[in-house]
């Protein structure tokens, strides 16, 4: 598969790194030659200096034979124009990064497809929605609804007070099963658990469950579930503004922005439940003045990852229940996890996982790259006569780095065990380590 990525910024570079492990023909294009230099990198990509809105540059990059063209430059108009040109020059599928929510409205879908833009992606919106999901379930590290909410993926860190600690997987309740432990993140290792694996205090567990099982997961994990009534957000980024617009109106929000002019502009676009404050969110006196001690959540979304991490650590000292840090530097993600700061939002990883689903030959409807776990979750449809439908799950001899979390059959959610027989057109949740994603095609095609 030949893929051309225009824009060697955070999203484009991360996507190229992800795909370079998949033995695909990856071309990364940018007008700035310095952005295409990756010292000490083993990425198998072809860097091309060029303008994605130049017909000549696109043709020189081989756009006519491209299976996928992705334009993720900072400029929305450049991305849309580049996709239009790429489509007309022979690219089979195009994806454009945008920052205008209006383009995503259903009434505009056909309009952009007629222009040659197959898919629009708004990373800041995706990140904001993830923040809202985290706030609605503050006891989780990850809460992701699959198949429109029929199945749910939950990531939660267990402590000594959890009933699950020191239990083997095969000791967990099997009758009227309400959840399935699909992965364990322990320090720097992600484990696809088998029956003899033991859950330890400090493990980050990933569960698949139905809506009926969410409360049971919370109780067995030993977690409180406070109602979030007040939030402090540090940093007036586009993600912060979108999050303010998506969060429920009954929540009181204090948004602290250091830049005075920017804070005035933000105040004009956020809802009435948001108070914009011009100040330094790192100032303890300001945080106390704005009520950090009676806030249930603190979200740090400045452009500096280390600032966000340190701010969340400070918020935890004030006993804030839920902290979320924007961390764009991938090297800082593991540091954030080791410091136990709470949830991490990585915009480029969210965007890259959204794009990744278009690259698999299997019938994939959604892909999620898990920030802390070095793992992926995919929603797939079992095709007739595919390998996954031939035997019961226990006899499929699935690779050790892959497990099945649940399925939807005729609209009804089901958890999966060894006796489950996958049927044609079942929608299946698959959890796998990030090196195993391509193996899915062997089972589902």
d(CA 102, CA 115): 16
Would you state the pLDDT for residue 359? 65
- Beta strands, E only, 83-146: 94-97, 119-121, 142-146
What's the whole-number average pLDDT of the chain?
Answer: 89
What sign does the dihedral 136-142-147-150 (CA atoms) show?
negative
Q: With 90 as the cut, is the pLDDT of residue 237 above it?
A: yes
Residue 1: pLDDT band with limits 50, 70, 90: confident
Residue 364: pLDDT band with limits 50, 70, 90: low
- The fold adopted by the segment(s) 351-444 is Alpha-Beta Plaits (3.30.70)
Would you state the pLDDT for residue 24? 77
Mean pLDDT of 395-410: 88
The string over 59-69, giving b where at least 16 C-beta atoms fall within 10 Å of a residue's C-beta and e elsewhere, is eebbbeebebb
Mean pLDDT of 331-359: 80
Mean pLDDT of 211-231: 94
Would you state the pLDDT for residue 372? 55
Q: How far is CA 119 from CA 65, 159, 255, in A?
A: 19, 42, 32
Count of helix runs (H) and strand runs (E) in the chain = 13, 22
Comparing 224-233, 315-324, 396-405, the range with the smallest average pLDDT is 396-405
Mean pLDDT of 405-433: 89
Mean pLDDT of 224-237: 95
Tell me the CATH number for domain 139-221: 3.30.70.1450
Q: Which residues contact 288 (CB under 8 A, 6 or more apart)?
A: none
Domain 139-221 and domain 230-318, same fold? Reply is no
Q: With 80 as the cut, is the pLDDT of residue 358 above it?
A: no
Would you state the pLDDT for residue 419? 87
Mean pLDDT of 149-160: 92
Would you state the pLDDT for residue 84? 97
Q: With 60 as the cut, is the pLDDT of residue 365 above it?
A: no
Beta strands at 189-191 and 179-186: parallel, antiparallel or unpaired: antiparallel
- The strand order across the sheet containing 322-326 reads 274-278, 252-257, 230-234, 297-300, 322-326, 343-345
- The fold adopted by the segment(s) 230-318 is Rossmann fold (3.40.50)
Would you state the pLDDT for residue 187? 82
Structure tokens at 87: 């489509």
Q: With 70 as the cut, is the pLDDT of residue 373 above it?
A: no
- Are residues 304 and 311 in contact, defined by beta-carbon separation less than 8 angstroms? no
Q: Longest Cα pair distance anywhere in the chain, in angstroms? A: 65
Backbone angles phi, psi at 85, to 5 degrees: -65, -45
Comparing 46-60, 191-205, 331-345, the range with the smallest average pLDDT is 331-345
- Are residues 152 and 145 in contact, defined by beta-carbon separation less than 8 angstroms? yes
Residue 434: pLDDT band with limits 50, 70, 90: low
- Are residues 155 and 206 in contact, defined by beta-carbon separation less than 8 angstroms? yes
Structure tokens at 59: 């043709």
Q: Which residues contact 171 (CB under 8 A, 6 or more apart)?
A: none
Q: With 90 as the cut, is the pLDDT of residue 273 above it?
A: yes
Task: Name the residue ranges covered by the structural domains of the chain.
Answer: 2-121, 139-221, 230-318, 351-444
Mean pLDDT of 11-25: 79
DSSP state letter for 166: T
Would you state the pLDDT for residue 257? 96
Q: With 60 as the cut, is the pLDDT of residue 256 above it?
A: yes
Backbone angles phi, psi at 336, to 5 degrees: -60, -40
- The fold adopted by the segment(s) 2-121 is Rossmann fold (3.40.50)
Mean pLDDT of 308-327: 94
Would you state the pLDDT for residue 362? 45
The 10 Å Cβ neighbour count of residue 389 is 18
Q: What is the pTM of this model?
A: 0.85
């Amino acid at each position: 598969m030949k893929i051309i990525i225009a824009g060697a910024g955070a999203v484009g570079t991360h996507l190229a790194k992800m795909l370079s492990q998949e033995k695909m023909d990856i071309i990364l294009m940018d007008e700035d030659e310095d952005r295409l230099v990756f010292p000490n990198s083993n990425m198998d990509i072809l860097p091309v200096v060029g303008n994605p809105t130049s017909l000549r540059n696109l043709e020189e990059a081989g756009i006519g034979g491209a299976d996928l063209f992705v334009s993720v430059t900072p400029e929305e108009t450049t991305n849309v124009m580049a996709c239009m040109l790429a489509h007309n020059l022979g690219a089979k599928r195009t994806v454009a990064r945008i920052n205008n929510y209006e383009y995503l409205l259903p009434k505009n879908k056909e309009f952009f497809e007629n222009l040659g833009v197959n898919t629009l992606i708004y990373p800041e919106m995706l990140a904001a929605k993830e923040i809202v999901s985290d706030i609605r379930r503050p006891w989780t590290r990850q809460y992701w609804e699959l198949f429109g909410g029929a199945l749910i993926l939950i990531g939660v860190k267990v402590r000594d007070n959890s009933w699950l600690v020191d239990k083997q997987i095969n000791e967990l309740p099997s009758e009227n099963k309400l959840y399935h432990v699909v992965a364990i993140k322990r320090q720097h290792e992600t484990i696809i658990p088998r029956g003899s694996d033991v859950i330890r205090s400090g493990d980050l567990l990933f569960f698949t469950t139905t809506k009926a099982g969410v409360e049971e997961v919370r109780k067995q994990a030993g977690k409180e579930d406070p109602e979030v009534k007040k939030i402090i957000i540090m940093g007036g980024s586009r993600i912060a503004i979108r999050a303010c617009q998506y969060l429920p109106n009954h929540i009181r929000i204090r948004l602290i922005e250091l830049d005075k002019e920017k804070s005035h502009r933000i105040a004009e676009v956020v809802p009435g439940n948001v108070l914009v404050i011009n100040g330094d969110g790192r100032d303890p006196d300001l945080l106390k003045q704005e009520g950090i001690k009676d806030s249930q959540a603190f979200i740090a979304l400045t452009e500096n990852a280390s600032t966000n991490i340190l701010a969340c650590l400070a918020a935890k000292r004030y006993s804030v229940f839920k902290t979320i840090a924007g961390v764009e530097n991938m090297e800082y993600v593991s540091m954030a996890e080791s410091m136990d700061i709470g949830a991490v939002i990585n915009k480029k990883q969210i965007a890259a996982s959204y794009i990744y689903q278009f690259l698999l030959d299997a019938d994939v409807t959604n892909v999620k790259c898990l920030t802390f776990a070095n793992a992926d979750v995919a929603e797939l449809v079992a095709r007739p006569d595919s390998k996954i439908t031939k035997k019961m799950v226990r006899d499929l001899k699935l690779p050790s780095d892959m497990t099945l979390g649940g399925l939807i059959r005729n609209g009804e959610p089901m958890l999966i065990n060894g006796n489950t027989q996958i049927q044609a057109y079942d929608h299946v949740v698959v959890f796998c380590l990030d090196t195993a994603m391509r193996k899915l095609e062997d089972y589902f095609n």
